[in-house]
Amino acid sequence: MTLVWLIIIPFVGAVFAWISARWSSRWPRWIAVSALAVDLVIALNLWVQYPAALAYAGRGPWIADFSYPWMPQLGIGFHLAMDGLSLLMVLLTVSLGIASVICSWTEIQERLGFFHFNLLAVLTGIIGVFLAVDLILFYFFWELMLVPMYFLIAVWGHENRAHAAIKFFIFTQFGGLLMLLAILGLYFVHGAGTGAYSFDYFELLNTPMTPVTSMWLMLGLFVAFAVKLPAVPFHPWLPDAHTEAPTAGSVILAGLLLKTGAYGFLRFVLPFFPESVEIFAPTAMILAVAGILYGAFLAFAQTDLKRLVAYTSVSHLGFVLLGVFDRNELGLQGAVMQMICHGFSTGALFILVGSLQERIHTRDMNRMGGLWSTAPTMGGIGLFFALASLGLPGLGNFVGEFLVLLGTYEKSVFITALAVVGLVLAAVYSLSMILRAFQGPKAEDWRIPDLSIRETALMGVMTAILIWLGLFPQPVLNTAADALKNLPTYTARAHTTSPEQEVRERDSVALETGIVPVTGFKRPDQRKQR
């Protein structure tokens, strides 16, 4: 029942926060923080007990499980399960959820009850996504995230909020429909091959299917998750949504909603379609590098401070996609670390941008400059998170990106070199952002208050987390290890066939789908032997 409580508590908190606004404007904030704090305590307790729970469970990497028949005639159940990967994602969700409530403490002054209802509702959906192992239940929570996030942007956003909200909804709904089609296709293929129709994750893992069918179903899920990540060219909704959303909405978008796409790759695409992933991986890695470079170039070109931070997400999450499709231990560990550290570093940058906009009522960097002299604490913390974002050694982002690059080097030196260029560009746009906003000549004579005690405490906690992850990442890596080590095992099934059969299967896929496998992705030591 612990997993059920992780979902019920924020949802009940959402309802009470909405109702309590009738009597006091303070109650919605405190109810939201309290509900998420309870979830955080539960998740931390699970993390502390994780090694013992893993040994006691005896179910591989899965430490907790809850199953209840929902629609057994259709093979649908209310099935939740938690392993190390989903545990880390739940911890990230409730932590950034608390940060979202705290950072909007003074920013949101209208419709407080409805705001905190939507905030907690979207967090409920995200937690459900990370715990659901029935594919229909997963799809339910996936769609549940969209509506409250739409309202957060459309009601409490900035000038062009309606356009951004509609754009966000159209893109993500398109991806969700593709996902539903792929899930239904997998359901019927599994039923035709085994005689048992089920949406359960564990039953669908070894579904027999032809290479062509596998490729089409994989592409459906890939596009759905790539839209949410977002990967180039499925990213156009992201900058507008980030720019127009309130600060809390931007934190949840960057820190959590985008991670559901990466989680989908790890949880479903890699284990369900190992042969198709083997063929498609080089293409995905090229898309990842394109996103790294494209996002970095566009970030540097921005004058809107919030839009600049939004484009950095496109670049940094390219490393996540790259690490996922490396399909080796280093790349997968790097992807998970980058997911977590990006959530804290970029979330903190959005909080700082929101605090700055609340004070000077603009995000235009051409009107800034010299703000460090009037707000030194804000400038110093902004510099710290800019350095974290560019991957400074000793901070968590460096660990994630370095592991991804090591994993990519085993696949392609050329792709690794291009990704390293993205790191150089990250240094350029991150330091340029600090120079234009906080250093240099003053464009206008701003006199702004520095960060409050509440804001400084929040930034201090997020700073400590990134330093801890940079200096001592092993607890996180150990927690994710048991979940990740199974993924290469699934992928290894792609090598059980003979070389001649693999060639025939790849030719068949290329003929039917038009996807031609990219060759030449060899390990560096293999190139030397040749």
- C-alpha 500/C-alpha 301 separation (Å) is 49
Query: Taking the model in full, what pTM does it have?
Result: 0.89
CA distances from 160 to 62, 118, 146, 259, 299 (A): 44, 20, 19, 25, 20
Can you read off the two tokens belonging to residue 118?
């939507």
Residue 382: count of CB within 10 angstroms of its CB: 26
CA distances from 47 to 98, 333, 354, 478 (A): 18, 18, 32, 11
Residue 337 is predicted with a pLDDT of 94
Residue 252 is predicted with a pLDDT of 94
pLDDT in tens for each of the 530 residues of the chain? 889 999 999 999 999 999 998 888 889 999 999 999 999 999 999 888 877 665 555 556 788 888 888 888 888 989 999 988 999 999 999 999 999 999 988 888 888 899 999 999 999 999 999 999 999 999 999 999 999 999 999 999 888 889 999 999 999 999 999 999 999 999 999 988 888 888 999 888 888 888 899 999 999 999 999 999 888 888 889 888 988 999 999 999 999 999 999 999 999 999 999 888 989 999 999 999 999 999 999 998 888 889 999 999 899 999 999 999 988 888 999 999 999 999 999 999 999 999 998 888 888 888 888 888 888 899 999 999 999 988 899 999 999 999 999 999 988 899 999 999 999 999 999 998 998 888 877 777 778 888 889 999 999 999 999 999 999 999 999 888 888 876 643 343 433 444 455 445 445 544 544 444 443 333 334 433 33
User: Nearest CA to 523 among 411, 413, 408?
Assistant: 411
Residue 81, phi then psi, degrees to nearest 5: -150, 155
CA distances from 174 to 163, 236, 416 (A): 17, 13, 32
Residue 517 is predicted with a pLDDT of 42
Q: Provide CB contacts within 8 A for 368, sequence distance 6+.
A: 305, 360, 362, 436, 437, 438, 443, 444, 446
DSSP bridge partners of 58: none
74-107 CB burial, b ≥16 within 10 A, e <16: ebbbbbbbbbbbbbbbbbbbbbbbbbbbbbbeee
Residue 518 is predicted with a pLDDT of 42
Give the CA-trace dihedral at 478, 484, 485, 488, to 10 degrees.
Answer: -150
Residue 490 is predicted with a pLDDT of 38
What is the DSSP track for 185-250? HHHHHHHHHHS----BHHHHTT----HHHHHHHHHHHHHHHHHHTTPTTS-THHHHHHHHS-HHHH
- C-alpha 212/C-alpha 117 separation (Å) is 44
- C-alpha 109/C-alpha 456 separation (Å) is 21
DSSP bridge partners of 199: none
CA distances from 183 to 135, 187, 202, 324 (A): 7, 6, 14, 21
Q: Are strands 76-82 and 64-71 parallel, antiparallel or unpaired?
A: antiparallel
Q: Provide CB contacts within 8 A for 128, sequence distance 6+.
A: 7, 137, 138, 140, 141, 144
One-letter amino acid at 92 equals L
